[in-house]
Structure 1
């Protein structure tokens, strides 16, 4: 069709053709038209990450699963003959309780763990507040010295620790087992970082309301760091529950043995050479830690973020 033009009317010049039409599709639709090479590369990268995570999961959980399946095998089964038990049974757990005083060793370990959890939560919270919010000179120097102590391995100081505990008359006692782990520098760092993450405006509002130092600590900062306290509680319990070397040095009377020493005596007994019993004992030692972790997991992952190291 021929365009009509009126005489004396000047037409607007046409825009030059650019060779491509204007795309009116929203960006949500245009993102699907990516080059195939980039999409394939992103897919391969994601697949590689998932495969790596699956491999790490197998490496970490494989021994635990194998121990659990071994503990369910009966006496007539070959421990190394197959992975799955042909006739699962719980008799090995009953045999563990009969082979050595399991309840007594668990009780001793729980006493040490309860003391360690309580002291670490209280002292780490107080020390973390003093190093983060209390205004006194030299707190950065003190914090640097405390962090520097993490460079020394336990083996380099255990002799001096033993001599100190012996001079206090605490050898062969549960208090002597607990005392060196009454407060951890790592837990102190976690609580300090959690308190530093609390906004300063919150503290200023508490000051305007007339709260003193203790009230600000107990009513403002401690409730704000519940997640970090859960991390401190869990790490303190795990450290006391799994400790083997220090109780081995301090304790001599079998009545005061912790669970790890009891399992060592079970594994080294000449009358008991059954891998099923050892696996059942290892699983019995693992169950309380798993139960505590599942009970505190919602606070634990939040506390890892709160307790991220901050200067």
Structure 2
């Protein structure tokens, strides 16, 4: 697969991390599903806690790795802050709340926490593995990535609050750490309110608006086909060269354009890899050897047709004058 979708070194590192993280979370989920019915929730921590706590560090490690590998020149934005805080929160829950007080891990809330985190991050890292490698993803992963928080967010929120509350029974009264735990517990609800708003906003921007644009583009193309505005290119076309990224912005326009090329024209099509140095372009050579080039990522199919039709009309006028 690497030959079809070559990646630069920094993206290879991120792809490897996402794939490894998805595998680790999958193994953690399988281990949980096997051990829970065998040993029960009270003995579950002995068989999974150490592994689960290490795997829970992947969001924090992943944030630092991705930030340094892919976005080292980009300033922090709101989504970066939420990602960083999320990684720190998970590390603190595991090593600041549960690890010092192992008895609280026997509570049902710990099992719920494991299940919710495993489900959430299994799909999260699987989705981003596809995105890094192919610049796309299966639709079901795309949908789950931006909707699974409806299930996992309440589960993890409630289980984390219960575990923090239980840990208060094991810390020294009046200690600084007791105050820290109490403050964190009280702050969970207001912070969760803003976190939920962030997740909803992310869903609206990265899923709903994307799907609306896809639907609008499909409807526009269907209307153009029905009205005949995407009729085939003129017969004066001699050679056609189309270079496009199958997962890029101009892929749809390029495919529609190819379907309109006259059967008499010689067609050469080149599918570019996502990281190819070649630019996407449509190059048409007419029978009078005039060459015209256009970028399919900047024009829609109707604009491209009008662009090439201009020279065809010019050729038709010259031909009528000669006659």
Bigger fraction of residues in strand: 2
Normalised TM-score (structure 2): 0.22
Kindly name which structure, 1 or 2, has the bigger radius of gyration based on alpha carbons: 1
Higher RCO, 1 or 2 (CA under 8 Å, sep at least 6)? Answer: 1
